[in-house]
Homo-oligomer: A and B are copies of this chain.
């Protein structure tokens, strides 16, 4: 039986200015987690959530995470956990979001003050954190408040987990989740994360997969110190020469990874999977627009989506230790560190990937016949994640999308990683759904980050509607 939601929807509409004010107050707190001097602002933002949640009648706790590893003079901002409802007859849904933001400054090229929510005549609400991730976090609070205002029974027990270090590697969160899996999170039936984006600007989506990432360093060293190329050029083997020759062997211009064995680890494409790409709302024109050029590997939509979602890729990010400034410097760098990463997909086990990468680098270095020294290492990795989009958590969300937006959502994956997704899945054993609020043009992490007013307000309806559908959805996990 479809939930009765018209009253809730009207209530959300009538409270929209209030919800925007709440977002304005949140954006005004510059909770930049990567800047030590702004740590008090991150803590203040957590406190803002505590106050708001308490006012809504939730049980709230600010859980300390201890000192920041490597920067022990800094206290990590607390994880804000809250419970709204404790009815054994209801399902318990855990939602996650983060209250810290990326750095931002007017001098970076923002058209408006980044920490003042500025709404233009197209309804675009500009401000750092508007879409990533303060809008979605407040979406849950707004949904609770609208229920209270019209006296509508809240359909689930809602557990909330909001962290303050997401933009700085979610320091401390993994341990917290594992620790609380059978404590604070033990009743959880399903999980919903709203911290990603639609594939385009028109059609909502549910996201069921993420690529992993294995990030490597290749260090080549030789001389005892940087050298002058006039004095030593032609007499010493140069680490930079060796490094570019090594990096050049990794991948070709069309993105084909040259490391033997990598392709064999990738799950084969089935006919069924192949068919789903056809209907995804995505065009090469919009892709060219977001790329800012026509320099794509593939001419067609399907190959491009598969290239982003279900095949591995290798990117060379840069070189540490070489001359990187504008102008000309005649240095022979003594030690250079190339950085590259591989986006991983099913069924690439990170340890298997490491083995192939290190063997390849060793082999290629031997071919150079160099007296320099090679040191290859893994900097960090995160595994890929793929959930079943046939799970009741997804089917409920699909119905909610259809009810609010009037279209069936696309089922999408992401090329990037949201590591906490896999952590929640592994720690709780429950299905995780990614339910985005914002659209592809929101410019999270860039200048002029925004959230469209429509996505915010309809998003509040969507989050509320999702909780109603998920409360009633038959427990099918295909």
| A→B interface (CB under 8 Å) | 211, 213, 215, 222-225, 227-238, 240-242, 244-245, 247-248, 251-255, 287, 291-298, 304, 307-308, 311-320, 322-334, 339, 341, 343, 368-372, 379-380, 414-417, 445
Q: Is the CB of A240 within 8 A of B315?
A: yes
The residue in chain B whose Cβ has the minimal distance to the Cβ of A326 is: B320
Q: Closest CB-CB distance, A230 to chain B, in whole Å? A: 2
Q: How many copies does the complex hold?
A: 2
| Whole-angstrom CA separation of A57 from B227 in the bound complex | 42
- CA of A253 to CA of B331 in the docked complex: distance in angstroms? 17
Q: Do A234 and B295 have beta carbons less than 8 Å apart?
A: no
The winner among A224, A316, A326 for most chain B CB atoms within 10 A is A316
Partner of A235, one of B235, B297, B380: B297
A244 and B324 contact, Cβ closer than 8 Å, known pairs A254-B237, A416-B231: no
Asked if A223 meets B293 with Cβ closer than 8 Å, knowing A235-B287, A369-B253, A416-B231, the reply is: yes
The answer to whether A229 touches B292, judged by C-beta atoms less than 8 angstroms apart, is no
Asked whether, in the complex, the Cβ of A323 is within 8 Å of the Cβ of B332, the reply is no
Within 8 Å by CB of A318, from B233, B324, B368, B415, lies B324
Other A-B pairs beyond A233-B343, A235-B304, 10, CB < 8 Å: A211-B230, A229-B315, A229-B317, A241-B252, A244-B248, A248-B248, A296-B371, A317-B322, A324-B324, A328-B379
Q: Which residue of B lies closest to A210 (CB)?
A: B230
Say how far A55's CB is from chain B's closest CB, in angstroms: 37
Specify which of B228, B233, B237, B292 is in contact with A334 (CB 8 Å cutoff).
B292
Q: Please indicate the chain B residues that have their CB under 8 angstroms from the CB of A213 in the complex.
A: 229-230, 330
**A339, B334: Cβ atoms under 8 Å?**
no
Q: Is the CB of A255 within 8 A of B228?
A: no
Q: How far is the CB of A445 from chain B (nearest CB, A)?
A: 8
Task: Provide the residues of chain B in CB contact with A379, threshold 8 Å.
Answer: 327-328
How far, in whole Å, are A89 and B110 apart by their CA atoms in the complex? 73
Query: In chain B, what residue has the closest Cβ to A373?
Result: B295
In the assembled complex, the Cα of A459 lies from the Cα of B296 at a distance in Å of: 64
A323 proximity list for chain B (CB < 8 A): 317-318, 320, 339
**Cβ of A415 and Cβ of B295 under 8 Å apart?**
no
Report Cα–Cα, A231/B414, bound state, in Å. 7
Contact indicator A294/B416 (Cβ below 8 Å): no
Q: State whether A241 and B316 are in contact (beta carbons under 8 Å apart), knowing that A230-B414, A253-B370 are contacts in the complex.
A: yes
> What 9 A-B pairs have minimum CB-CB distances, sorted nearest first?
A224-B292, A230-B416, A234-B313, A318-B323, A318-B322, A233-B313, A248-B248, A324-B324, A222-B295
B333 touches A317 (CB 8 A): yes
Contacts of A231 in B (CB 8 A): 308, 414-416
Cα of A48 to Cα of B298 in the assembled complex, Å: 67
